[in-house]
Structure 1
Amino acid sequence: MQIQIVPYQKQYAEAIANLIISIQQQEFNIKITLADQPDLQDIDNFYRKGSGNFWCALSPEGELIGTIALIDIGNNMGAIRKMFVKHEWRGKEKNVARLLLHTLETWAQQHAVSKLYLGTVEKLKAAQRFYEREGFTLVDVEALPTQFPRMAVDTIFYQKTLYSV
């Protein structure tokens, strides 16, 4: 059996919150709590509307090891959020981040999302290298679409065109 990427199901809600909060707080010392992220307490209504969705990466044993989400921000555009992979599952050889991103990109194209945007923080250097390898380019904050849901902690922004409209 191999790593599976599956759409969000309520049975994963607690594991998702625990994974994301532990990475944010303990690994990267980002001062953010579950209360600061109401989207994690209502994934269905926050992410799974329009062309949006939320996916979970599961280990061969069925453990939640990663997440990624797409928010439909209108005008054939989407915002990537909640891209997290458990530390021991990171890296090119494990391929979890790439599987998550490619699942999101395939879904986006099938649902008429032609351009993706995301925000990240300065200290996440490996994430920045990953996005750049995957074809994302830096974009100035002033050039973000007005409907892009900017997170207060984000300071670096990327975009990727999936296809021309």
Structure 2
Amino acid sequence: MTELGAHAASVNVELFNATQQQQVIDTILYVQNVEFKVGLSLEDQPDLLDIETHYVATGGQFWVALAQDGRVVGTIGLQAKPNGIGILKKLFVLADYRGKQTQCAAKLFNAVIEFARSSGIVSIVLDTPSIATRSHAFYKANGFREIPQTEVPVKYDYVDRNSLFFRLDLI
């Protein structure tokens, strides 16, 4: 198995548990601010301080991708909103685990889709910084279409970094 193949085989997606909270925060802040220079603080993202309340308690869920050694190398969350709407949040994967070779983002995304379908969510929307062009390509390749902010079917909090909005209808 190649080194990259070893990464792919070692990534396991699991439901978040509270013991992983600091690793989740560290992973997300690192990708946002060191790799992509978006400039977001933890204070800008209070959901990271209480994932249970912001995701699970309202009918959504949060997942982590773990390397073979148990390190958090990726994250994704889904907030459940009324009328079958889900908000995709916090899809982040460390650079060494990105790309088709590892399938880390795809595994995280598939966990969200499976959960959404089983939970009665019929549309998923998301916001992403306009500079995150690689993310835009990933979302489009997975069936999302870009929509104007005026077509976002639910109000929710997000940190506006010249954001673009995307929607995926599951039915």
TM-score for both structures, normalised by structure 1:
0.94
3-state SS, counterpart of residue 40 of structure 2: coil
Displacement of 1:98 after TM fit? 0.4
User: Match for 2:124: what amino acid?
Assistant: L
Moved >6 Å (runs of 4+): none
1:100 to 2:112 alignment? no
Question: Which structure features the higher share of helix residues?
Answer: 2
Displacement of 1:21 after TM fit? 0.6
Q: How far apart, in 2, do the equivalents of 1:146 and 1:40 lie?
A: 21
Q: Percent identity?
A: 26
Residue 71 of structure 1 contacts residue 81 of structure 1 at CA under 8 Å; is this kept in 2?
A: yes
- In the other structure, the counterpart of 2:95 is 87
Call closer, same or farther: CA 1:154–1:100 in 2, change over 3 Å: farther
Call closer, same or farther: CA 1:161–1:73 in 2, change over 3 Å: same
- The residue correspondences of 1:21-100 to structure 2 (distance < 5 A) are 21-100=29-108
* Structure 2 residues not aligned, in runs of 5+: 1-8
* Structure 1 residues not aligned, in runs of 5+: none
Q: Tell me the C-alpha RMSD between the 2 structures.
A: 1.2
User: Match for 1:109: what amino acid?
Assistant: R
Q: How far apart, in 2, do the equivalents of 1:90 and 1:7 lie?
A: 20
Residue 51 of structure 1 contacts residue 108 of structure 1 at CA under 8 Å; is this kept in 2?
A: no
3-state SS, counterpart of residue 26 of structure 2: helix
Q: How far apart, in 2, do the equivalents of 1:150 and 1:88 lie?
A: 27
Residue 144 of structure 2 contacts residue 166 of structure 2 at CA under 8 Å; is this kept in 1?
A: yes
User: Match for 1:125: what amino acid?
Assistant: T
Q: How far apart, in 2, do the equivalents of 1:51 and 1:136 lie?
A: 22
Q: How far apart, in 2, do the equivalents of 1:83 and 1:91 lie?
A: 13
- In the other structure, the counterpart of 1:162 is 170
Residues matched between the structures, number: 163
Q: How far apart, in 2, do the equivalents of 1:47 and 1:154 lie?
A: 24
1:119 to 2:127 alignment? yes
TM-score for both structures, normalised by structure 2:
0.91
Q: Provide Cα deviations, 1:75-100, integer angstroms capped at 9, x if missing partner.
A: 00100000000111000111000000
User: Match for 1:40: what amino acid?
Assistant: L
Q: How far apart, in 1, do the equivalents of 2:73 and 2:109 lie?
A: 14
Residue 119 of structure 1 contacts residue 154 of structure 1 at CA under 8 Å; is this kept in 2?
A: no
- In the other structure, the counterpart of 1:4 is 12
Q: Provide Cα deviations, 1:23-48, integer angstroms capped at 9, x if missing partner.
A: 11111111211111111000101111
1:141 to 2:154 alignment? no
Residue 79 of structure 1 contacts residue 149 of structure 1 at CA under 8 Å; is this kept in 2?
A: no
Q: How far apart, in 1, do the equivalents of 2:43 and 2:138 lie?
A: 29
The 10-residue stretch of structure 1 (60-69 or 150-159) with the greater mean CA deviation from structure 2? 150-159
